[in-house]
C-alpha cells in the first residue's frame, strides 16, 4: 500500500504536540515504565530497578555511565543471552566508532524503532505539510530521491546491524514489505545486496524523474556532494541518458552496467530538455532548474556543517531545507523545530529519559543532573540519556544549549561534543583517535613525533585536515598519504567521507624544532598558568592557528637541534 505521507505527518505532529504539552508527566511515566519493564534483567537486578519509585532514587541507585560500562553486557547479548540490559530483545545493532576507533555495538529494541518511525520519520512529513498547508497533498508529496542506500547486514547471531541512519529502513523492510514506489530508484538500489557506491545509478534515475518532489539524505555534506557530482559530470550524465550508455570512466561492475542498460534505455527527449539549461548558470538554484516540482530537501546541517550547509543553500535556492533530527547511535533525541531553520531541535519526551549536567558555575552547585522541566533558556548542559534499548544514564558528551520551549519540551542547539575535536562532514574525530593516528604514523614513518596539532583547512576545493608536526628527520615522501591512511584506519566515519570525496586528503605543515616549547613560553608570557594548560592538540582559536602557522619550515629544515 502506498504511504499516505500527509496522514502520517499529521498524526506524528499531533503526537508531538500532545506529549510536549505534558512533557514532565510523560517523562515521569516513561522512567517508571522503563524501570518496571527491565527490573528482571541482569542490569536491572544489579541496580535495583524494581525498588526505584522516584527520580531521586533513580539518580542515587543507577550510576552515570559510558560505553565501556556496557561492553561486557552487550557481548553477552550478542552471544545469545536474554534479559541482559532489556526485557525486550535487541532487533538491530548500531555500529559506531568508539573513542579509539574500535567498533562499538549498540542494541536497538523494536520499541525504540517504533518511536523513531513516529517522530524522526513521520515528523518531517508533518512539518512539510504545515509549511505547504495551502497546497493539496498530491502537489507536496510524491517521488523522493533518497541519497542513501540500506544494504542489509547481519551480526553472527542473525540480528540486523549497520549505522543508525539505515536502521529504520532495514527494520521496515525486515519482511520485504517496504513499499518503494514513492522513490525514484527501484527497491534493489535502496536495498542492495552489498554496500557499495551506487551514486551514478541513483543520479541517473533521479535525472529521469521530471516530477521529483523531495530529496532525502541524513547529513547535508552527503546531499551537497551528490549535487556537486551532478554539476561536475553534467555533460557525461546527459550523454549517457541520451544514448542509454554508461561512460567508461564510471566505476561500476559489469553486473551494474548491464542493469543500467536494462532499466534506463536511451531517453533523448529528457536529455534534450535538460541540455536547454545553461551550464554556466546551472549551479545556482540547480535543484529547482532540474526538478521544478521539488518542495523540500531533508538533511542535517547547521553550524557543525557550515561549509556544506552554505554550499547546499546555493544549490537549493528557494527550496526549503528541513534539518531533520538531533541524533546519535545512542538515540534520536529531537526533531528540527521548523523548515529552513538549522540548529534548533525539539527534544521529544518519548525519546527516552533526559537528564542535563549543568556547565555554568552558578548551576554546578546542584549535586545531580537536572530534569527536562528544570532546565533554563540560555544555559548549557551536557546531555545524559536513558533510552529504550538498554542504556541507563548514559553520558553522551554532547554539550547543548537550551534556546526555547515547545510546550514543556526544551528546544536545544547542539554546541559541541566534549571529546570531539574536528567534525567537517560527520566524521567526529576526537583527541584519543588523533593520538592513535600519530602513533601509527610515527611507527610507519620510523620517526619520533615530538608534538602535533590539527585544524580544519577550508582553503581548497574540499575541506581537509591540516596537521602541524614537530618531528625528527624522516623521508617525507608519501608522508601525507600515510597519515591519511592512518586516519582512515582509526576512524570509520572519516574513511567513509574520504571514499565519498567529502573530505580532501590530509595536508602536513612541518614545524621548527622547539615549536611546542615556544608555545608554552608564549602562554607563560601571556600570563597563563602552565599547570592549567595541556599540550595543545586542536587549534580551535585564531590565536592558536596564527601561532603555529608562524612556526612552519620547509620539510628539509625541520630537524631537531638548537631551538631557533
- Alpha-carbon span 124 to 348, nearest angstrom: 14
Supply φ then ψ for residue 488, to 5 degrees: -65, -35
| This prediction's pTM | 0.78
**Exposure on the CB side of residue 74, measured as CA atoms within 13 A:** 21
Please state the length of the chain.
564
Check residues 359 and 20 and name the one with the higher pLDDT: 20
Quick one: 308 exposed, middle or buried, by C-beta within 10 A (0-12, 13-18, 19+)? Answer: buried
Q: Identify the pLDDT of residue 153.
A: 84
Given a cut of 60, is residue 559 above it in pLDDT? no
| pLDDT at residue 419, rounded to an integer | 62
Position 402 pLDDT exceeds 90: yes
* Angstrom distance (rounded) from CA 267 to CA 240: 9
> Mind listing the pLDDT tens digit for each residue in 96-144?
754 434 568 999 999 999 999 999 999 999 999 999 999 999 999 999 9
> Cell 599540550 sits at which residue?
535
Strand 214-219 versus strand 296-300 pairing type: parallel
How many percent of the chain have pLDDT more than 70? Answer: 92
pLDDT at position 343 over 90: yes
Q: Bigger pLDDT: 523 or 146?
A: 146
Query: Phi-psi category of 107—alpha, beta or left, where left has phi over 0 and alpha has psi -120 to 50?
Result: beta
Q: Which residues pair with 335 in a beta bridge?
A: 325, 346
Which residue is it, cell 551494474? 256
Higher pLDDT, 201 or 539: 201
Please check whether residue 170 is in contact with residue 149, taking contact to mean a CB–CB distance below 8 angstroms.
no
Of residues 291 and 425, which shows the higher confidence score?
291
**What is the rounded distance in angstroms from the CA atom of residue 38 to the CA atom of residue 88?**
8
- Helical segments of 301-364, H only: 306-316
Residue 3 has pLDDT above 50, yes or no: yes
pLDDT at 362: 63
Q: What is the pLDDT of residue 319?
A: 97
Among 250-254, 259-263, 301-305, 402-406, which stretch is predicted with the lowest mean pLDDT?
A: 301-305
Q: What mean pLDDT is predicted for residues 501-510? A: 93
Mean pLDDT of 397-409: 95
pLDDT at 530 over 60: no
Tens of pLDDT along 419-442?
Answer: 666 888 888 787 778 878 988 998
> What pLDDT score was predicted for residue 541?
81
pLDDT of residue 535: 58
pLDDT in tens, 292-334: 999 999 999 887 777 778 889 999 999 999 999 999 889 999 9
Q: Where are the beta strands (DSSP E) in 78-197?
A: 90-97, 103-109, 144-146, 153-154, 160-162
Compute the average pLDDT of residues 163-172.
Answer: 87
Mean pLDDT, the chain, as a whole number?
Answer: 89
* Beta-ladder partners of 383: 356
pLDDT of residue 475: 80
pLDDT given for residue 97 in this prediction: 56
Q: Mean of the pLDDT values across residues 513-531?
A: 66
pLDDT tens digits for range 349-379:
999 999 999 987 666 666 689 999 999 999 9
SS (H, E, C) 415-470: EEECCEEECCCCCCEEHHHHHHHHHHHHHHHCCCEEEEEEEEECCCCCCEEEEEEE
Rounded CA-CA distance 21/183 in Å is 35
Share of the chain above pLDDT 90, in %: 64
Amino acid at each position: 500500500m502506498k504511504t499516505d505521507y500527509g496522514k502520517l505527518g499529521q498524526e506524528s505532529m499531533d503526537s508531538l504536540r500532545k506529549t510536549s504539552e505534558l512533557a514532565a508527566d510523560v517523562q515521569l511515566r516513561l522512567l517508571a515504565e522503563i524501570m518496571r519493564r527491565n527490573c528482571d534483567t541482569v542490569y536491572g537486578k544489579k541496580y535495583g530497578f524494581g525498588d526505584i519509585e522516584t527520580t531521586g532514587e533513580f539518580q542515587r541507585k543507577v550510576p552515570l555511565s559510558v560505553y565501556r560500562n556496557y561492553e561486557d553486557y552487550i557481548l553477552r547479548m550478542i552471544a545469545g543471552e536474554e534479559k541482559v540490559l532489556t526485557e525486550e530483545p535487541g532487533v538491530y545493532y548500531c555500529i559506531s566508532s568508539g573513542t579509539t576507533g574500535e567498533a562499538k555495538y549498540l542494541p536497538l529494541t523494536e520499541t525504540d524503532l517504533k518511536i523513531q518511525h513516529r517522530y524522526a520519520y513521520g515528523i518531517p512529513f508533518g512539518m512539510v505539510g504545515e509549511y505547504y498547508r495551502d497546497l493539496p497533498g498530491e502537489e507536496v508529496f510524491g517521488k523522493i530521491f533518497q541519497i542513501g542506500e540500506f544494504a542489509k547486514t547481519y551480526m553472527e547471531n542473525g540480528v540486523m546491524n549497520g549505522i543508525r541512519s539505515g536502521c529504520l529502513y532495514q527494520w521496515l523492510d525486515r519482511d520485504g514489505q517496504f513499499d518503494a514506489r514513492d522513490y525514484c530508484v527501484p527497491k534493489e538500489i535502496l536495498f542492495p545486496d552489498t554496500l557499495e557506491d551506487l551514486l551514478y545509478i541513483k543520479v541517473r534515475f533521479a535525472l529521469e524523474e521530471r516530477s521529483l518532489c523531495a530529496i532525502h539524505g541524513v547529513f547535508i555534506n552527503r546531499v551537497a556532494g551528490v549535487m556537486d557530482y551532478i554539476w561536475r559530470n553534467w555533460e557525461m550524465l546527459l550523454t549517457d541518458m541520451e544514448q542509454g550508455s554508461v561512460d567508461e570512466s564510471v566505476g561500476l561492475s559489469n553486473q551494474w552496467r548491464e542493469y543500467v542498460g536494462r532499466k534506463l534505455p536511451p531517453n533523448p527527449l529528457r536529455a534534450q530538455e535538460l541540455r536547454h539549461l545553461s551550464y554556466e548558470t546551472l549551479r545556482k538554484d540547480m535543484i529547482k532548474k532540474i526538478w521544478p516540482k521539488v518542495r523540500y530537501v531533508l538533511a542535517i546541517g547547521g553550524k557543525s556543517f557550515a561549509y556544506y550547509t552554505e554550499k547546499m543553500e546555493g544549490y537549493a535556492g528557494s527550496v526549503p531545507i528541513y534539518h531533520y533530527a538531533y541524533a546519535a547511535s545512542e538515540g534520536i533525541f529531537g526533531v528540527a523545530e521548523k523548515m529552513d531553520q538549522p540548529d534548533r531541535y525539539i527534544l521529544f519526551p518519548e525519546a527516552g529519559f533526559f537528564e542535563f549536567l549543568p556547565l555554568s558555575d552558578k548551576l554546578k552547585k546542584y549535586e545531580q543532573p537536572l530534569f527536562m522541566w528544570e532546565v533554563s533558556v540560555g544555559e548549557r548542559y551536557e546531555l545524559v540519556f536513558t533510552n529504550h534499548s538498554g542504556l541507563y544514564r548514559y553520558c553522551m558528551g554532547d554539550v547543548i544549549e537550551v534556546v526555547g520551549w515547545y510546550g514543556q519540551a526544551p528546544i536545544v542547539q547542539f554546541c559541541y561534543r566534549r571529546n570531539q575535536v574536528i567534525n567537517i562532514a560527520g566524521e567526529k574525530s576526537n583527541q584519543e583517535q588523533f593520538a592513535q593516528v600519530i602513533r601509527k604514523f610515527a611507527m610507519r614513518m620510523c620517526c619520533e613525533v615530538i608534538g602535533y596539532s590539527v585544524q580544519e583547512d577550508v582553503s581548497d576545493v574540499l575541506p581537509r585536515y591540516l596537521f602541524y608536526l614537530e618531528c625528527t628527520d624522516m623521508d617525507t615522501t608519501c608522508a601525507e598519504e600515510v597519515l591519511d591512511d592512518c586516519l582512515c584506519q582509526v576512524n570509520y566515519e572519516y574513511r567513509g567521507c574520504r571514499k565519498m570525496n567529502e573530505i580532501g586528503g590530509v595536508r602536513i605543515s612541518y614545524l621548527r624544532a622547539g615549536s611546542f616549547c615556544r608555545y608554552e613560553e608564549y602562554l607563560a608570557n601571556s600570563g597563563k598558568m602552565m599547570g592549567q594548560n595541556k599540550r595543545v592538540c586542536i587549534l580551535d582559536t585564531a590565536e592558536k592557528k596564527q601561532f603555529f602557522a608562524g612556526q612552519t619550515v620547509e620539510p628539509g629544515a625541520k630537524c631537531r637541534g638548537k631551538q631557533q
